Amino acid sequence: TTPITRDRARGLLLGLALGDALGAPFEGRDSVDPADLVAEELAPSGLVHTDDTALALVLAEHLAEHRETTVLEEDLLAREFADAWRAEPWRGYGSGTPKVFGLINAGVPWRDATRAFYQGQGSFGNGAAMRVAPIALAGTSLHHAAELARRSAAVTHAHKHGQHGTACQAAAAYLALHSDPTHPLPVPAFLHDLARVVRSGPWHEKLDRIAELVRRRPEPQHAATALGNDASALGSVPTALLAFLLNPDRANDAIRYAIRVGGDTDTIAAMAGALAGARTGAAALPAAWLRRLAAARRLRALADRLS
Ligand code: F2R
Ligand code: MG
Ligand code: MG
Ligand code: MG
């Protein structure tokens, strides 16, 4: 596999934040008018990230701190996520995960807090997948990245599909980071590798559907129907993956496609942006967008510590 360069590590984190911040104004809309998206791209205002990037920053900092030792300290990580929510509750969090954070802040162990909702099953939302990209920088193999991802997910998302989705996104980020940018991305092999680390019927079904959709190149609205665009992991991680696989060498187009899918736009675009940025590197991301990104300096510094 191709080694990770500093530029690609930066691309991973900056791509995530750009997708999040550009997609955020459209979150929850059934459809996105391309003209509205162009207006957002050209606006002079700062690009402000939401919970997706806020929690990815927490995870990246945690990985950087524990790099030489344990890599992931779940009890501490749970408290760090909950602290980030308490410090900035206005970052566009939904209603679910903050309830878990509230219990953790009150001293409830994360293993109990995450099972206190949804009849003891816990959340299958995309909230652990949206923040997981930095794990791809810490994983020493595809399987290691997927395993670390599951552990990072468990502190907020007890449901197996919340964890499968997180493993899928981290593994995709690992493969994107280590892909050879001088050759076209081998889509069938990419999807085959993901199927090896995400062993679940409903996920294999989605991965098969993605292979077919990459051949048909559907409009974004059709991708929403075929794969989903909601805040569940199963209804958004595959959609982000499609946005990337249709545009693996153009991060701006991957992000645009993901936003035009509608629904959970910030999160789908954050996941697609992380994958595309990891493949192209930060130097290929639109400079005009990066200049507006409020968290850019912090993200670059963290990428450098992790690469
Ligand atoms: N939630 C939002 N945005 C909507 C609200 C924005 C707000 N109005 C504002 O602008 O301030 N954004 C962020 O949340 C998503 C990540 O969600 P997470 O952290 O996984 O949360 P949750 O609530 O656990 O799951 C999301 C939804 O999935 C459904 N669900 C999950 N588990 C379920 C289960 N076991 N049974 C049934 N349904 C389940 C629920 O509908 C949850 O609401 C990202 O979009 C992020 O940007
Ligand atoms: Mg968000
Ligand atoms: Mg969202
Ligand atoms: Mg370094």
Is the Cβ atom of 80 under 6 angstroms away from ligand 1? no
Number of the ligand 1 atom closest to the C-alpha atom of 122? 35
* Residues near 187 by beta carbon (within 8 Å), at least 6 away in sequence: 211, 214, 245
Whether residue 19 lies inside any domain: the answer is yes
- List Cα–Cα distances, 230 to 66, 240, 255, in angstroms: 33, 11, 17
Residue 36: is its pLDDT beyond 90? yes
Residue 1: is its pLDDT beyond 80? no
Whether residue 190 lies inside any domain: the answer is yes
Structure letter (DSSP) for residue 125: B
Whether residue 264 lies inside any domain: the answer is yes
Structure letter (DSSP) for residue 209: H
How far is it, in rounded angstroms, from Cα 104 to Cα 127? 16
Q: According to the model, what pLDDT value does residue 3 have?
A: 83
Cα 3 to averaged position of ligand 3 atoms, centre (Å): 31
Whether residue 121 lies inside any domain: the answer is yes
Is the Cβ atom of 52 under 6 angstroms away from ligand 1? yes
| Domain extent for 125 | 6-306
- The ligand placed nearest to the CA atom of residue 125 is 1
Whether residue 294 lies inside any domain: the answer is yes
Residue 107: is its pLDDT beyond 80? yes
Whether residue 61 lies inside any domain: the answer is yes
Q: According to the model, what pLDDT value does residue 67 have?
A: 87
Confidence bin at 210 (pLDDT 50/70/90)? very high
The total of structural domains in the chain comes to: 1
What is the residue-averaged pLDDT of the chain?
97
Whether residue 193 lies inside any domain: the answer is yes
Cα 182 to averaged position of ligand 2 atoms, centre (Å): 33
Number of the ligand 1 atom closest to the C-alpha atom of 24? 47
- The ligand placed nearest to the CA atom of residue 301 is 4
- The ligand placed nearest to the CA atom of residue 267 is 3
Structure letter (DSSP) for residue 186: -
Find the mean pLDDT for residues 32-47: 97
Q: According to the model, what pLDDT value does residue 270 have?
A: 99
Whether residue 1 lies inside any domain: the answer is no
- Which amino acid type is present at position 256? R
Number of the ligand 1 atom closest to the C-alpha atom of 126? 20
- Percent pLDDT > 90 in the chain is 97
At 216-261, the pLDDT tens digits run 999 999 999 999 999 999 999 999 999 999 999 999 999 999 999 9
Taking each helix axis from N to C end, the angle separating 187-197 and 160-177, rounded to the nearest 10 degrees, works out to 140
CATH for 238: 1.10.4080.10
Cα 304 to averaged position of ligand 4 atoms, centre (Å): 5
Number of the ligand 1 atom closest to the C-alpha atom of 270? 47
